[in-house]
C-alpha cells in the first residue's frame, strides 16, 4: 500500500471513529431537545469531516500531484472515501431530522377530545341582581329609572325635604359632611327633589342609589348601603295608589298570595306617613316554617321593609308644584336586608368585602 493510500485509509478510520457515537444513536423515545442537540453536533461533524479544511478536502487536492499512472486509481480511492463520509452523514442527518419533525408534531398535536378550559366571566353582584329585578317590575308599571349625585347640598339633603333645622339626621354624628354645606346623602329621597325639578309633574320614577350614614359596621349595618326610592305625582293620587303600587310590586316579587301591611309612622317629607311590611315569603305569614319559628320574619309572619307616605305639600312647593292641584306618594327602602333575606346571607358586611369566594356564589 502506498504512502498516499495509507493516508486515505487513515482519514477513513478517523471519520469512522468520530462517527461512532452517531452510528450507535438510539432514536427510540429520544426527547426533542436531545435530538436537536445531536443534529447540531452532526452538522459540526460534517464541517470538520468534509469542509474546506477537512482531511478529505486536502486529499482531493493531492490528486493532481500524484504520478500520472497512479492518478486515476488514487482519485477513485479518494472520491470513494469522500462519498462514503458524505453519504454516511447524509443518512444520519435524515434519520435525525425525521425524528425531530415527528417529535414536534407529537408535541403540537391537539387532543380535540380534552375538555375545554372554562373562561372566567364576570357576573352581577347580588345587590345588583335584586335591584334589577325590582327595576324591571317598576319599569313595567310605567316608572322611569332616575339617578343622581351622592354628594348633595344641605338644601337637597334636608331643606327641600322639609327636614327641620333641629332634626337629628342633620347632625354630624349621623351624616358624613364633606365641606360646609355639603354631605354624602343619607337617603335617596334627595332624588325626589332633583327629579321633580328636572322633569316636572306628572312624574313616576324609581331611584336606586348608594347612601351613607355614620353607623358602626356590624352584621346588619354598613356605613354605605343602597336604597330604592319611588315617587309618583299626578292629579288625584291617593294613599290607595301607594298601597296598590307597593302591594302589586311585592306580589310580583314574592308571589300572588303576598299581602302587605301599612303602619302609621312619621317622616318629615310625607304626610301622612306609613311604614310597610309584607307577609313573610318563607312561612307565608304564619310565623312557622317546618314546625320551627320562621327565621326571616323571626316568627312574626311579617317582614318590615320601608317607609312611605303622601308627599308633603312643602316638598311639592319646593319643587314648584302646586299641592292644591297635584298630590303624590313616595316610598323608600334598603336593598341590603332584602338581598340578605333572598340569599340567606347572615352578615351584610360580606357584600362589600369583595371576597371572590363569597361573590362567586351568585352566578
Ligand atoms: N328615606 C327614608 C329612610 O331612609 C325612607 C322613606 C320614607 C322614603 C318615606 C320615602 C318616604 O320616600 O316617603 O328611612
Buried residues in 254-270 as b, exposed as e (16+ CB within 10 A): beeebebbbeeeebbbb
Question: What's the CA-to-centroid distance between 246 and ligand 1, angstroms?
Answer: 14
What's the 306 CA to ligand 1 centre distance in angstroms? 7
Q: How many whole angstroms from 252 Cα to the centroid of ligand 1? A: 22
Q: Where are the domains of the chain?
A: 3-107, 126-362
Of 189, 227, 319, 337, which is best to mutate to test ligand 1, by the most ligand atoms within 8 angstroms of its C-beta? 189
The answer to whether the CB of 229 is under 6 A from ligand 1 is yes
What per-residue confidence (pLDDT) applies to 170?
A: 85
CA 233 to centroid of ligand 1, rounded, Å:
16
pLDDT on residue 363: 82
Cα(39) to centroid of ligand 1, in Å?
82
pTM of the model: 0.71
Query: Does the beta carbon of 332 sit less than 6 angstroms from any atom of ligand 1?
Result: yes
* pLDDT for the residue numbered 1: 67
Q: Which fold has domain 126-362?
A: BirA Bifunctional Protein; domain 2 (3.30.930)
Along the chain (363 residues), what's the average pLDDT of each consecutive run of 10 residues? 85 94 89 94 95 92 87 92 95 95 89 87 94 98 97 96 89 89 96 97 98 95 97 98 98 97 97 98 96 96 98 98 98 97 95 93 88
* Mutation test residue for ligand 1: of 162, 233, 267, 276, the one with most atoms within 8 Å of CB: 267
Amino acid at each position: 500500500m502506498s504512502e498516499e493510500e495509507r493516508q486515505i485509509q487513515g482519514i477513513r478510520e478517523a471519520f469512522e471513529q468520530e462517527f461512532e457515537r452517531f452510528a450507535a444513536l438510539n432514536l427510540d423515545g429520544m426527547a426533542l431537545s436531545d435530538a436537536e442537540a445531536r443534529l447540531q453536533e452532526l452538522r459540526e461533524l460534517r464541517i470538520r469531516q468534509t469542509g474546506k479544511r477537512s482531511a478529505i478536502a486536502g486529499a482531493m487536492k493531492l490528486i493532481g500531484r500524484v504520478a500520472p499512472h497512479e492518478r486515476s486509481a488514487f482519485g477513485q480511492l479518494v472520491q470513494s472515501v469522500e462519498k462514503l463520509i458524505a453519504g454516511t452523514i447524509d443518512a444520519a442527518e435524515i434519520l435525525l431530522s425525521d425524528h425531530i419533525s415527528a417529535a414536534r408534531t407529537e408535541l403540537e398535536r391537539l387532543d380535540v377530545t380534552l375538555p375545554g378550559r372554562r373562561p372566567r366571566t364576570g357576573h352581577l353582584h347580588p345587590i345588583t341582581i335584586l335591584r334589577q329585578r325590582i327595576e324591571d317590575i317598576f319599569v313595567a308599571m310605567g316608572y322611569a329609572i332616575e339617578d343622581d349625585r351622592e354628594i348633595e347640598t344641605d338644601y337637597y339633603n334636608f331643606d327641600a325635604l322639609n327636614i327641620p333645622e333641629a332634626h337629628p339626621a342633620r347632625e354630624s354624628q349621623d351624616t358624613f359632611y364633606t365641606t360646609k354645606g355639603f354631605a354624602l346623602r343619607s337617603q335617596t329621597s334627595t332624588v325626589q327633589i332633583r327629579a321633580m325639578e328636572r322633569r316636572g309633574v306628572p312624574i313616576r320614577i324609581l331611584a336606586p342609589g348608594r347612601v351613607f350614614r355614620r353607623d358602626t359596621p356590624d352584621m346588619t349595618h354598613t356605613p354605605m348601603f343602597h336604597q330604592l326610592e319611588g315617587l309618583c305625582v299626578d292629579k288625584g293620587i291617593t294613599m290607595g295608589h301607594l298601597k296598590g303600587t307597593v302591594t302589586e310590586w311585592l306580589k310580583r316579587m314574592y308571589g300572588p298570595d303576598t299581602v302587605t301591611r301599612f303602619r302609621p309612622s312619621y317622616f318629615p317629607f310625607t304626610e301622612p306617613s306609613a311604614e310597610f311590611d309584607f307577609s313573610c315569603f318563607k312561612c307565608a305569614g304564619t310565623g312557622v316554617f317546618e314546625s320551627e319559628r320562621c327565621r326571616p320574619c323571626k316568627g312574626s309572619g311579617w317582614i318590615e321593609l320601608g317607609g312611605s307616605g303622601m308627599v308633603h305639600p312643602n316638598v311639592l312647593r319646593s319643587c314648584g308644584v302646586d299641592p292644591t292641584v297635584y298630590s303624590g306618594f313616595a316610598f323608600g327602602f334598603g336593598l341590603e336586608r332584602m338581598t340578605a333575606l333572598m340569599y340567606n346571607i347572615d352578615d351584610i358586611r360580606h357584600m362589600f368585602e369583595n371576597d371572590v369566594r363569597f361573590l362567586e356564589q351568585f352566578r
